[in-house]
Chain A
Amino acid sequence: MCAARLAVAESPALVAERVTRKYGGRVAVKDVSLTLSAGDCLALFGPNGAGKTTLLRMLGGLLKPNAGTVRLHGNELPGEAETRRLLGVISHRSMLYDALTVRENVMFAAECQGLRDAASATTRALDMLLVLDRADTPVRALSRGLQQRVSIARALVHGPRLVLLDEPYTGLDETGARALTDALRALKASGATVVLITHNLSEGLALATHATIMRAGTFAHEMPRPEASYDVGEYAALYREIVAGGE
């Protein structure tokens, strides 16, 4: 790796400044700021309707904030093609075309990312998520969990530097969950930034370098860099207290 890579690691990768988003008159995300560096993983917890998905979509440039800015390596999203290429998005919707095969779907994504060697990148991504043996099966013939794995392969095929995940563990079996966790660990180690929404506190905390509990569009509790040994039970109690406090 060259020296410039270090500069990336030192300067913040993802910066959101006082972002606010409204739907009609309702405020979904209110005045949220965050800064993440390369290799960071932010776990977003919170009850339904807390604004997690809205925040995540704004971080990915899929939704424009009504106020505030989001910058990825200094560039606003959706911005230029070069900036969007840094992005990988995974949600509980598969974002796949169910009439196409697994390989066609991932290959299409790889080509849209502009990969020169889309075919071998596709094979590698399918292999990483353990779905290579299903490469020529139409997506609609796969179980929910396998579709989710294909969707993850689709999002990671181009080696994104910012990965946004909205409840990615939904529907995954143990093998799939482990493959996803391994893939995310590898991404973190390679200096990618990860933002993860999940309802599973232990899974989220296992990966996270930062954890946040959202409630009513704001960060109700922020915990920077939890230790790997942080007690999940204690955090769960805190979570329940915060969520109950809002009602």
Chain B
Amino acid sequence: MTSVSAVESRSTTARPLPAVDWLLVLAVLAVGAMAVRAILYTPADAALGAVQRILYIHVPSAILGMYVACTIMAACGGLFLWLKDDRLDRISESAAEVGFVFLTVVLATGAIWGKSSWGTAWAWEPRLTSALFLWFVLLSYLVLRDAIENRDTRARLSAVLGVLALLLVPFIHMTVYLFRGLHPDPVVLQPGKPKMPPEMLITWLFAVGAFALLFFALLRLRYRWATARDARLMLEQA
């Protein structure tokens, strides 16, 4: 089979990590610029006050952590089961870990937002509840990876979990919205959907772009690190 030798040659010839990751630098600058714009040049929401600006972090992180990261993890997992290419496993692993960080940010900013606008740090708001359960799914994915020493087994079993996790997402959404039907919760600002003033909308779109850049820069960095790690393991075992 050609893929075996191909994987081997790729791994053993992995280049050393570059000293400066320009994509990451660019992403950090973009996020910084977004923050400056959000704080200095975008008016705060009249009703919600300054804390509303936390949504410029919260919502992009949620989109990337919940949807983008989980989709990449599951899609690469499914492809791995089919193609058995180590690179796909490394992308899954990286997406899960970066997604986990983003979801942690979502939960933290959600709690800050909740404390200041609803008076309680955790209000079982449905979106946040979904994020919490997904956070647990990603955590268990990472723990599963950690619990398997054999690399092939780890890749295969975590790919199965990754694919099932994507199937779980719609069910978690359905469940938490059903749950809300019984427990009405505070009125939520729904960013994206309601009419925002144009300055806020532009800042918000800018924020999504900046965080997407950050997400993919971190994903690439984490992936390169995984490649280097695997190459080192390969050399040690050879």
Chains A and B touch each other in the complex, with CB atoms below 8 Å apart: yes
Which residues in A have some Cβ–Cβ distance to B below 8 Å?
20, 22-26, 66-68
Cβ contact within 8 Å between A25 and B233 = yes
In the complex, what residues of B have CB within 8 A of residue A22's CB? 4, 152
Interface of chain B: mostly helix, strand, loop or mixed: helix
Q: How close is A70's CB to chain B, nearest CB, in angstroms?
A: 13
Please provide the chain B residues from 97 to 135 with a CB less than 8 Å away from any CB of chain A in the complex: none
Within 8 Å by CB of B237, from A20, A26, A67, A68, lies A26
Minimal Cβ-Cβ distance residue in B for A24: B151
Q: How far is the CA of A67 from the CA of B2 in the complex (A)?
A: 8
Cβ contact within 8 Å between A25 and B1 = no
Q: How close is A71's CB to chain B, nearest CB, in angstroms?
A: 16
In the complex, what residues of B have CB within 8 A of residue A66's CB? 1, 4
Interface pairs (19), CB distance under 8 Å: A20-B4, A22-B4, A22-B152, A24-B151, A24-B152, A24-B233, A24-B237, A25-B151, A25-B233, A25-B234, A25-B236, A25-B237, A25-B238, A26-B237, A26-B238, A66-B1, A66-B4, A67-B1, A68-B1
Q: How many Cβ-Cβ contacts under 8 Å join chain A to chain B?
A: 23
In the complex, what residues of B have CB within 8 A of residue A24's CB? 150-152, 233, 237
Q: How far is the CA of A20 from the CA of B151 in the complex (A)?
A: 17
Q: How far is the CA of A26 from the CA of B151 in the complex (A)?
A: 11
Count residues on chain B whose CB falls below 8 Å from chain A CBs.
10
- 17 further interface pairs, Cβ-Cβ under 8 Å (given A22-B152, A24-B237): A20-B4, A22-B4, A23-B150, A23-B152, A24-B151, A24-B152, A24-B233, A25-B151, A25-B234, A25-B237, A25-B238, A26-B237, A26-B238, A66-B1, A67-B1, A67-B4, A68-B1
Minimal Cβ-Cβ distance residue in A for B237: A25
In the complex, what residues of A have CB within 8 A of residue B233's CB? 24-25
Q: How far is the CA of A22 from the CA of B236 in the complex (A)?
A: 15
| Most B-side CB within 10 Å, residue of A22, A25, A26, A66 | A25
Q: How far is the CA of A26 from the CA of B233 in the complex (A)?
A: 10
Q: How far is the CA of A22 from the CA of B233 in the complex (A)?
A: 14
Q: How close is B155's CB to chain A, nearest CB, in angstroms?
A: 10
Q: How far is the CA of A56 from the CA of B4 in the complex (A)?
A: 21
Mask: chain B, 1-40; 1 = CB below 8 Å from A; 0 = not:
1001000000000000000000000000000000000000
Q: How far is the CA of A157 from the CA of B203 in the complex (A)?
A: 74
Q: How far is the CA of A107 from the CA of B4 in the complex (A)?
A: 41
The 6 closest A-B pairs by CB, nearest first: A25-B237, A25-B234, A24-B151, A67-B1, A66-B4, A26-B237
In the complex, what residues of B have CB within 8 A of residue A23's CB? 150, 152
Minimal Cβ-Cβ distance residue in B for A65: B1
Q: How close is A44's CB to chain B, nearest CB, in angstroms?
A: 23
Please provide the chain B residues from 208 to 238 with a CB less than 8 Å away from any CB of chain A in the complex: 233-234, 236-238
Q: How far is the CA of A214 from the CA of B133 in the complex (A)?
A: 51
Minimal Cβ-Cβ distance residue in A for B8: A25
Q: How close is B138's CB to chain A, nearest CB, in angstroms?
A: 24
Q: How far is the CA of A24 from the CA of B150 in the complex (A)?
A: 6
Q: How close is A219's CB to chain B, nearest CB, in angstroms?
A: 20
